[in-house]
Amino acid sequence: MLTLRPSDERGYADRGWLQSFHSFSFADYHDPDHLGFGPLRVINEDVIAPGMGFGTHSHRDMEIVTYVLDGELAHKDSIGNGAEPAVIRPGDVQRMSAGTGVRHSEFNQSQQPTHLLQIWIEPDVRGIAPSYEEKRFDADAKRGRLRLVASPDGADGSVTIHQDARIYVGTFTDDESASIHLQAGRRAYVHVARGEIDVDGTRLLTGDAAKLQDADMIGLTNGHKAEVLVFDLP
């Protein structure tokens, strides 16, 4: 069963320096029908103005994955990353396991807006030591296929998250297509970061998403300048 999550029904916050769309309830946006999907708790699409960002703040017991679409983001944290700021750019996937607690800041130090997705996944273990990881996946690795970028075991060079969940990213246009098989009892969330594409025959546009349950295979076809994230979830 496929349930569409239209882009224009997401929560939205405009702070001047930050425009943010919330796929799930977050901060001042609360929707009891969209509190999360399995352990997937947050997908925020953020556009951060040049020279602006999030000052030092804390997290605990959450897997935080950041995926930059355009621009760059500088990161510093309380566990020693960013003495010289760690800067992530398009193609980079950053994972921070908050565990027992971590403080960090995120700033756009460039002269152009930074466009990113920040993803929160609830871990399957609590109270672990906080940790940080980032890896790069170039454009060719994602073109016309679903590239594994996060997993519980670091498979295929992906970042490691503390949850039985997997994140795939792919770009599709023209006749490029891909499919993914789901094990029995699992679910999937497909988020279109940009462009448009058919998900099991349903057309999704930029910012749209689809929740899929009781499916053993998901097909992505007829993409047009599409960049897609697929979450395989318990």
- Grade residue 14 by pLDDT with cuts at 50, 70 and 90: very high
What pLDDT, on the 0 to 100 scale, is given for residue 63? Answer: 98
Strand partners, 99: none
Residues listed for the chain = 234
Residue position matching structure tokens 């599409």: 226
User: In the predicted model, what is the mean pLDDT of residues 154-172?
Assistant: 98
Q: Where are the domains of the chain?
A: 2-233
Q: What is the C-alpha to C-alpha distance for residues 149 and 69, in angstroms, rounded to an integer?
A: 15
pTM of structure: 0.96
Burial 86-95 (b: 16+ CB within 10 A, else e): bbbebebbbb
User: In the predicted model, what is the mean pLDDT of residues 70-83?
Assistant: 86
**Taking Cα atoms as reference points, which of 173, 166, 170 lies closest to residue 145?**
170
Residues whose CB falls within 8 Å of the CB of residue 212, separated by 6 or more in sequence, listed in order = 1, 2, 3, 182, 187, 188, 189, 190, 199, 200, 218
What pLDDT, on the 0 to 100 scale, is given for residue 77? Answer: 86
- Mean pLDDT of all residues belonging to the chain: 96
CATH topology of domain 2-233: Jelly Rolls (2.60.120)
User: In the predicted model, what is the mean pLDDT of residues 189-200?
Assistant: 98
Q: Quick check: 86 pLDDT over 90?
A: no
Q: Quick check: 1 pLDDT over 80?
A: yes
| pLDDT tens, residue by residue, 21-53 | 999 999 999 999 999 999 999 999 999 999 999
Please give the angle made by the CA atoms of 129, 130 and 131, to the nearest 5 degrees: 115
C-beta of residue 232 within 8 angstroms of C-beta of residue 186: yes
The H or E element spanning position 53 is: strand 53-59
- Grade residue 80 by pLDDT with cuts at 50, 70 and 90: confident
